[in-house]
Amino acid sequence: MNGIIREEENFCLLLSTTVYSVEAIKKTAYKFADRASVVLRPADEATLKVVFNFTGRHTPNPEQVISDFCNELLDQDLREIVKRETGPLRNVILAHAFSRTQLAEQS
């Protein structure tokens, strides 16, 4: 379940952890710390509630911030997928690069 809800002074975004990784959600929340206070709360087994608090901040359009958050979340989640898929190849390239140096032989 994904969706925006309004709770008193806060906006909340419900995110499915089967769609987005918790790591990607946390990275995105950190990137938006300058635009809103962001709190993550479990809603149920497969849903995280992202609570945006704009109190005391100059935010003319909270909906735009949440829309930007969603775009950044997609970017962060895709980065995690690429990292996971290319990890073995990246390790081979690094191992090969360091095998040609004197780094290991200097100890």
Instruction: Find residue 78's DSSP bridge partners.
Output: none
- Structural domains of the chain ordered from first start: 3-106 (3.30.1360)
- Average pLDDT score over residue span 58-83: 91
The letter for the amino acid at 66 is: I
Query: What is the model's pTM?
Result: 0.77
State how far the alpha carbon of 71 is from the alpha carbons of 9, 53, 99, 107, in Å.
23, 19, 40, 47
Find the angle CA(44)-CA(46)-CA(47) to the nearest 5 degrees: 65
**pLDDT in the model for residue 88:** 87
pLDDT at 3 exceeding the cut of 90: no
